[in-house]
Amino acid sequence: MAGKFCGFRMLSFSFFFVMLALFVSCSPGKDRNSSGKRDSSNESVASGPEKGFIVGFSQIGAESAWRVRNSESMQEAAEKMGIQLLYANAEQKQENQLKAIRSFIVYQVDVIVFVPIVQYGWENVLNEAVTAGIPVIVADRKLKLSDPDLVAGFAGPDNFEEGRSAARFLLRKYESSAEPVRIFEMRGTEDSSVTEDRAAGFREVLAGSNRFEIIYSESGDFLRSKGKELVENFIRENGGFVFDGEPIDVLFSHNDGMTLGALEVFDGCGIKAGSDVTIISVDAEQAMIDALKEGKVNCVVECNPDLGETVLALAEKLVNGEEIAYHTIVDGQVFTEFENYDSLPPRGY
């Protein structure tokens, strides 16, 4: 099987389909039977670093530093574990993910891993994977499925808990005041589980107190450019970071990319982020930890992007015929203005 990819380890989406056809036709005979299917009876597991199995990985894209690190983590883990990884970048389009997954099925990879950009619309392709006998692991974001058994399992952060952590920080920050607290929420991609869960966790904790009011909530699609545009337009339309003439106290941003966009706008119009407006952000990129240390941000909730080893260890178990847990949660920490992070190691993203 080691020769099947002619020495390649990773492919990018742009030339994936062309290369797929090429690989299918140039694969050594011992790896495929006359119908072009992989002939497992002729396969052997290579010794040493090569484990001899193939994972097709459909990634959303590269919308944030977090996402870039998430892809790197998969690639690094594959290298380390001797797993061949077919990487397909969907450039933010569900249709590209569907095409990539179908290509993985045609190629008969051993395991499919994908990060669903949105929660819905996957049942057909997952049924096709089941029919082909290829197990699927969902990474980072979750799915809404009528039949949970369409996938082998999920591995990723607890986005609901991230929303809760953001809200708990606010309860602590404003515990000694009785004033109302007005919140501007910048959500991530619509219909994604991560957006839904962060929003729900945040609301769950704040529901216990009627002082906190989310007066505005809009999607910035996890993009720095859209975060910037959203805050810029809001300030222009409302004559400042105010709503109905009253100042907004808090920006809760679902990711660091959008927060960085908002910080640019605040900077440009003399609003002191971190003191005029309390800022809470999710991801914990280096840039946001730096902003926290500078006092421009008040709370950063980590969403751990380093899922590679966890996800590929699950894939390996599946290849070996072992059971895996349906949910594998990767923990994250919370960084707040109440602590000192001078000795925090570099984040790596």
* Residues found near ligand AHR in the complex (CB under 6 A): 63-64, 66-67, 140-141, 194, 222, 255, 257, 282-283, 303
Q: How far is the CB of 44 from ligand AHR (least distance, A)?
A: 38
Least distance from C-beta 141 to ligand AHR, angstroms?
A: 5
How many CB atoms sit inside 10 A of residue 26's CB?
11
Q: Which of 20/166 has CB closer to ligand AHR?
A: 166
Q: With respect to ligand AHR, which residue has the nearer C-beta, 161 or 249?
A: 161
Residue with tokens 């099947």: 4
Q: How far apart are CA 212 and CA 221, in angstroms?
A: 24
Give 249: exposed, middle or buried? Use CB within 10 Å, 0-12, 13-18, 19+. buried
**CB closer to ligand AHR, 5 vs 87:** 87
Least distance CB 191 / ligand AHR (angstroms) = 13
d(CA 339, CA 335): 7
Question: If you write DSSP's letter for every residue of 93-125 in order, what string do you get?
Answer: -HHHHHHHHHHHHHHT-SEEEE--SSSSS-HHH
Nearest to 101 by CA among 130, 125, 117, 77: 125
| Residue with Cβ nearer ligand AHR (77 or 139) | 139
Measured CA to CA, the distance from residue 329 to residue 24 in angstroms comes to: 36
Q: Given the complex with ligand AHR, which of 140 and 249 has the nearer CB atom?
A: 140
Minimum CB separation of residue 207 from ligand AHR in Å reads 23
Q: Distance between CA atoms of 163 and 167, rounded to whole angstroms?
A: 6
- Pairing, β 334-336 against β 299-302: antiparallel
Among residues 20 and 282, whose Cβ is nearest to ligand AHR?
282
Nearer to ligand AHR, 157 or 316 (CB): 157
Rounded to a whole number of angstroms, the minimum distance from the CB of residue 316 to ligand AHR is: 24
d(CA 164, CA 95): 32
Residue 280 beta carbon to ligand AHR: minimum distance, rounded to whole angstroms: 13
Closer to ligand AHR by CB, 5 or 66: give it.
Answer: 66
Both tokens of residue 203? Answer: 């609301």
**Beta carbons within 8 Å of 251's beta carbon, 6+ residues apart:** 183, 184, 186, 231, 259, 262, 273, 277, 278, 279, 280
Q: How far is the CB of 173 from ligand AHR (least distance, A)?
A: 22
In single-letter form, the type of residue at position 91 comes to E
Phi first, then psi: give them for residue 15, nearest 5 degrees. Answer: -115, 15
Instruction: Please report how close the Cβ of residue 292 comes to ligand AHR at its closest, in angstroms.
Output: 16
> Would you give the end-to-end CA distance of the chain in angstroms?
34
Tell me how far apart the alpha carbons of residues 249 and 251 are, in angstroms, rounded to a whole number.
7
- CB of residue 158 to ligand AHR, shortest distance in Å: 12
In the complex with ligand AHR, which residue's Cβ is closer, 167 or 194? 194
Distance CA(329)–CA(223), nearest Å, equals 25
